[in-house]
Amino acid sequence: MAALPTLEAPRGLARLVGRLTKLFSQQVPAPTRTTTVGVADAEISALTSAWFNISTERIEIYDDAEEMEDTIDEVAVALDVLADEAVNAEGGAEESFRIIWGDGVSESVKDYVEAAIERCRLREKMYGITRDTLLYGDNFQQYILGEDFDLVRVMYMPPSSMVRNEDEVGLLLRGSTQNNFAFEQYVPRTNRFIAGFRAWQMEHIRWNRRGSSPYGRSMCYTARHSWRKLKAMEEALCVNWLTRAFARLLFVLDTTGKTSVEATTYIQKFKAGLMNKKVVSGVLGDEELSVVKDLFIGRGYHDFGGQIQEGLTDVRVLDTASTGFTHLDPVEYYQNKILTSMRVPKAYLGLERDINAKATLSYQDRRFARTIRRVQSVMSDFIHHFVALSLLLKGVNPFEAKYVVEWPSPSRLDVVEEAQALQSFSAAAQTLVGLGVVDDEYIALKFLQMSPSQWSTVFDRIQSKAQEVVDNEQPAGDDTDGDPADS
């Protein structure tokens, strides 16, 4: 690969590159020690462990999210669908994302960035990174450097062990001691300090961050309360199904003419005779008639007006059917609340039973596609930071390397509708330009949603190609400037 060019640095960029280079190569004095994951200081940790503690509420949210993923099929499948739709193109063999480079970027820069992506296996890891970001709301990836300041790995850091330190205006701290690092790692649920990281060493991906909170919010955040209720209801249903789903026998015994003591003795003897059987001579064993406890009731008959009703011992089967076994609306109610939090239509999970109107289905598809695009936008920020750091470490100005990150389309329906809308816009634009109502710049800015700088680039390209056509159509040998009388 050709050597990377050093672009003309903007103001302060050379100083920043030098600072990073010096930071990578510096020796940390004792008692601080250099580790593979950052800078650790055991003595400071021992002094501050008495008062520092990671937010227990954040840890509880992470724990709930993990348990929901492990126990609720709808949550696990919804996360799979969201991550799969966001990063995997149709066909399975296409790349999860592509970098489309702009004009003027040298081939050496392109090759270096692609090599860094391959070394870090960024495309292969993108599915897991996306899924974990949605599950926890936070995803910490540490940049690992090799020789010559090349990025060789992005390493997953458990969110429950990481702390983000900001100042009063929300900027990352820039210190080099505990509680002054931009990011710090602790043993989960303890105060033991592991390592500290500066801002460029860690990528903090945040999903659905709220207000001034330094951390994101899990996709499962609002579903936690509904999940607890649904879990209790499902467990109650299982207990009922196991204990009341089988028939029970009701024995009605004739106790006519017996006293209360005699009736009780008679019922117990009858019950024992049914439930005990002789195994061998002199040895009795228990024999249950059903999986649940049967009922034994004594019934006596009395003389009413000189008439005595015949007393018969009877056996009946009790119907233990309950509407609670078939009336599952409360369960579906909390299931729907969980799926609403996950923002995945039930049809994507195979749970849709009702046939909705076509307009409703189209809206669900468009709404889901917008959710996927938002996920892709968050992942694009991560890739932009990765590319910028890769180039900056090599002394290349990342602001001069123009590119965009392209993802697979989340909805074929959106693609068709956008193509139809663009066709209609083009016909309208052609008519308006022909009438002199608007010009080409207005069409580009309003209909095509271009920025002024993009239109300027496109206009220069159009002018350049038009000039090339003029030059190519000029007759050969037409550059003579002799006297007209010679012709």
Alpha-carbon gap, residue 7 to 396, rounded angstroms: 6
Q: What is the pLDDT of residue 163?
A: 93
Q: What is the pLDDT of residue 361?
A: 60
Residue 35 corresponds to which tokens in the numbers above? 């580790």
Q: What is the pLDDT of residue 17?
A: 53
The pLDDT tens digits of the residues spanning 275-317 come to: 666 555 555 555 554 444 555 666 666 555 556 555 555 666 6
Domain-by-domain residue ranges, the chain?
13-219+363-406, 246-319, 412-470
Q: What is the pLDDT of residue 270?
A: 79
Least-confidence region, from 187-191, 389-393, 404-408, 447-451: 447-451
Q: What is the pLDDT of residue 4?
A: 55
pLDDT (average), residues 86-100: 73
Angle subtended by helix axes 56-71 and 224-244, to nearest 10: 40
pLDDT confidence tier of residue 165, bands split at 50, 70 and 90:
very high
Tell the burial category of 388 from Cβ atoms under 10 Å away from its Cβ (0-12, 13-18, 19+). middle
Name, of 19-23, 48-52, 79-83, 259-263, the range with top average pLDDT: 79-83
Residue 280's beta-bridge partner residues? 283
pLDDT(346) > 80: no
- Cβ burial 124-138 (10 Å sphere, 16+ → b, else e): ebbbebbbbbbbbbb
* 346 Cβ contact partners less than 8 Å away, ≥ 6 residues apart: 336, 339, 352
- Cβ burial 75-84 (10 Å sphere, 16+ → b, else e): bebbbbbbbe
Angle subtended by helix axes 73-87 and 358-393, to nearest 10: 60
* 7 Cβ contact partners less than 8 Å away, ≥ 6 residues apart: 396, 397, 400
pLDDT (average), residues 435-445: 82
Q: What is the pLDDT of residue 43?
A: 40
pLDDT confidence tier of residue 96, bands split at 50, 70 and 90:
confident
pLDDT(323) > 80: no
Q: What is the pLDDT of residue 468?
A: 81
- Taking CA atoms, 385 is separated from 204, 242, 388, 389, 413, in Å, by 10, 55, 5, 6, 31
Dihedral over alpha carbons 50, 52, 55, 56 (to 10 degrees): -10
* 369 Cβ contact partners less than 8 Å away, ≥ 6 residues apart: 410, 411, 413, 414
Residue 346 corresponds to which tokens in the numbers above? 């039930």
pLDDT (average), residues 60-82: 90
pLDDT (average), residues 11-27: 50
pLDDT confidence tier of residue 56, bands split at 50, 70 and 90:
confident
* 189 Cβ contact partners less than 8 Å away, ≥ 6 residues apart: 54, 59, 160
For the chain, give the mean pLDDT: 75
Residue 197's beta-bridge partner residues? 183
pLDDT confidence tier of residue 463, bands split at 50, 70 and 90:
confident
The pLDDT tens digits of the residues spanning 365-376 come to: 778 888 888 999
Tell the burial category of 105 from Cβ atoms under 10 Å away from its Cβ (0-12, 13-18, 19+). middle
Residue whose pair of structure tokens reads 């991550």 in the numeric block: 83
Q: What is the pLDDT of residue 44?
A: 39
For the chain, give the percent of residues with pLDDT over 90: 22
pLDDT confidence tier of residue 437, bands split at 50, 70 and 90:
confident
pLDDT (average), residues 266-282: 68
Name, of 198-207, 220-229, 358-367, 462-471, the range with top average pLDDT: 198-207
Q: What is the pLDDT of residue 194?
A: 93
The pLDDT tens digits of the residues spanning 128-155 come to: 999 999 999 999 999 999 878 889 999 9
Residue 206 corresponds to which tokens in the numbers above? 């945040």
pLDDT (average), residues 231-239: 80
For the chain, give the percent of residues with pLDDT over 70: 66
Alpha-carbon gap, residue 198 to 172, rounded angstroms: 9
Q: What is the pLDDT of residue 8?
A: 45
Cβ–Cβ < 8 Å for 279, 292:
no
Q: What is the pLDDT of residue 19?
A: 54
Torsional sign, CA 152, 158, 163, 164: positive
Q: Is the full-model pTM beyond 0.75?
A: no
Question: Which of 65, 74, 387 has the alpha carbon at shortest distance from 216?
Answer: 65
Q: What is the pLDDT of residue 7?
A: 44
Alpha-carbon gap, residue 325 to 329, rounded angstroms: 11
pLDDT(52) > 50: no
Contacts 24+ apart (CB under 8 A), 287-294: 289/249, 290/246, 290/247, 290/248, 290/249, 291/246, 292/243, 292/244, 292/246, 292/248, 293/248, 294/248, 294/249, 294/250, 294/251
